[in-house]
Structure formats: C-alpha cells, structure tokens
Structure 1
Amino acid sequence: MFRRTFWFTAGAAAGVWATTKVNRKLKQLTPESLAAQAANKAIDAGHRLKDFALDVRDGMAQREAELGEALGLEHDPDAELPAQRRVAAIENRKLLTAKPVQHQNNPNSTYENGSYTYNRNEDH
C-alpha cells in the first residue's frame, strides 16, 4: 500500500513539475516575451559597444600621449596654427608672368625655363 502511495505521489509531483516547465516555456515563446528579450539583448549589446568605444578612445589618447612624449612634442591647445604656405601660388604666378616664347617645332605652344605652358589650341 505504501509503495502505491509513494509512486502515485511521485507521478503527481512529476506531472506538476512538467506542466509548470511547459507553461513557462510557452510564455517565453509568446510574441510579447520574444520582443522583450530582443529589446533586452539590444540594450546589452549597446552597452557593450559603448564600453568598447570608450576603451578604444582611452587607448588612443594614451598612445597619442606616448607618441607625443617620445617625439618631444608639446601639445598646447591655445597655440595658434602656423601660417599657410603659399609656395604653389607663387610658382603659378611666375608661370603667368613669364614671357611666352614660340617653340621652334610647335608654334602653338610656348616654352620657357624648361617647361611648357598650357595652350588651349593644342587639344584640337
């Protein structure tokens, strides 16, 4: 008699346990629950990406400081930038002010100081 009671109780407990487990799994598979899980995973991924970006930024700043120290550069944020060089503009001005000279083989092009200047008639 006790054996039957034991097995009846064990079977009822197993049934309750299995039913509870199946109901929980069904609730996890509802659309609302799946959407909430996806949102939570997206938020976690965003936090991990933010932490990664902050780590990269810290590493960049540290490496920049190491390189600045190794090269002997002093970073002064209030210092003004150096003036722009205008070497190319000065060279172009020299070509524009140069006196054109007719080349012996091609009368449409001008030649002076070892370089040809542009003549729009050469393209045709």
Structure 2
Amino acid sequence: MFRRTFWFTAGAAAGVWATTKVNRKLKQLTPESLAAQAADKAIETGHKLKDFALDVRESMARREAELGEALGLAAPVDQDLPVRPHFVVEASGPVGPDRSLEATKYRKLPYTSYNRNEDH
C-alpha cells in the first residue's frame, strides 16, 4: 500500500514539475517575451559599447599626454621664438551669385529613364 502511494505521489510530483517547466518555456517563447529579451540584450550591449568607448577615450588621452611629454609639446611656449604666420586657404572655382560652388555642386542633371518597358 505504501509503495503504491509513494509511486503515485512521485508520479504526480514529476507531472507537476514537468508541466511547470513546459509552461515556463512556452512563456519564454512568446513574441512579447522574445522582444523583451532582445531589448534587454540590446541595452546591455549598448552599455558595454559605451564603457568600451569611454575606456578608449581615456586611454587615447593618456597616450596623447605621454606623446606630448615625449615630444616636448607640453612644455610652456618660449616667448622669444618667432610666431609662424597662418595662411587661409580659399576655394578655387567659379564664384558669383549664380556660379557659386554650391550651385555647381547641386545642379540638376537631365532626366534619363532607365525603364526598359517605356516606349522611346
């Protein structure tokens, strides 16, 4: 009698356990749940990329400071040295109200039909 009761209880417990496992898995595979999981992964990946970018920026600034010290760029400027003149580079090309660079850059091209079914 106890043996039958034990196995009946064990079978019922296994059935409840299996049913709950299957229901949990089915809930995980619904479209809403999959979308939420994808959103969570995307947010997690975004945080990892942000941390990586911050690490790269910090390392870049540190390396730039090291190079500046090695090349003597961080030293104060000597007032006795002559200052180099800076030159302004102007664009060459057509200039005028209707011949500006922007107008030539965005001029309208003639229409060409690439439709093979169109009668010519």
**TM-score, shorter chain, exceeding 0.5:** yes
- The structure with higher relative contact order (CA 8 Å, sep 6+) is 1
The residue identity in structure 2 corresponding to 1:19 is: T
1:65 and 2:82 matched: no
Pairwise mapping of residues 1-124 of structure 1 onto structure 2 (< 5 A)?
1-74=1-74, 82-85=84-87
Aligned to 2:116: none
Determine which structure has the larger helix proportion and give its number: 1
The total of aligned residue pairs comes to 82
Q: What per-residue deviation string (whole Å, max 9, x for no partner) do you get for residues 32-81 of structure 1?
A: 000000000000000000000000000000000011111111278xxxx9
* Unaligned 5+ runs, structure 2: 77-82, 89-120
Provide TM-score, normalisation by structure 1. 0.62
List structure 1 segments (4+ residues) > 2 angstroms apart after TM superposition: none
What percent of counterpart residues are identical? 80
Distance 1:75 1:53, change over 3 A: farther
Give the number of the structure whose alpha-carbon radius of gyration is greater. Answer: 1
Could you say what the CA RMSD is over the residues aligned between the two structures, in angstroms?
2.0
* Unaligned 5+ runs, structure 1: 87-124
Provide TM-score, normalisation by structure 2. 0.64
Determine which structure has the larger strand proportion and give its number: 1
